Structure 1
């Protein structure tokens, strides 16, 4: 797949105080479900923030904007949003990015 067609997403989840473990559990379940169910997923990796704003970050790569849109309408994402519905201090935020390849081909694009 041409990297110019792919899209990268950085999603952040900020749990309410005391809800971190529940959000983490829901997030890890969503990772497994996304890997199994969603076509076009090239990367869907969860991270816990260790500096900066507390919470979790998911870095995603989709083969196309259409595949990302299908993920947003799919079962894995619906289950995640239902599971974290009352557990977040702010709405789940997602930034969708298109690569600007530069430099070394392996290092300059996700």
Structure 2
């Protein structure tokens, strides 16, 4: 699945922290969000929680901006802080929009 260079890109990243590390991982994700919000092209970087999982919903202006984020210091530091505290590696899905219905409600 690919997008054009100028299309927004949505990412969903799911983290399953070890139970004893849940608060630490949540705190690290919140700290990272503050830094990531300042990165070029970041339109959305929102943390959510469900059933012991922490889920980031992201929206980037372009794939290029997302690629820059992927190599940036905030993400490197986040991985260093949380990877050993997860039950499994983070699941990251890079999504391409399939607009439907009203434009303002049919896509992020």
Instruction: Give per-residue Cα distances to partners, 1:35-55, cap 9 Å, x unaligned.
Output: 12x110010000111x4xx21
Secondary structure of the structure 1 residue equivalent to 2:87: coil
Moved segments of 4+, more than 6 Å: none
Point out where structure 2 has 5 or more consecutive residues left out of the alignment: none
List aligned pairs for 1:21-36, cutoff 5 A. 21-36=23-38
- RMSD value, Cα: 1.4
TM-score (norm 2): 0.91
Matched residue count = 104
Name the SS for the 1:90 alignment partner: coil
Q: Secondary structure at the match of 2:85?
A: coil
1:94 aligns with one of 92, 95, 102:
92
**Alignment partner, residue 43 of structure 2:** 42
Q: TM (normalized to structure 1)?
A: 0.90
Which of 57, 69, 72 is the aligned partner of 1:71?
A: 69
Partner of 2:59: 61
Mapped to 2, the partners of 1:56 and 1:95 lie a distance apart of 14
In structure 1, the partner of 2:82 is 84
Structure 1 unmatched ranges of 5 or more? none
* 2:68 match: secondary structure: helix
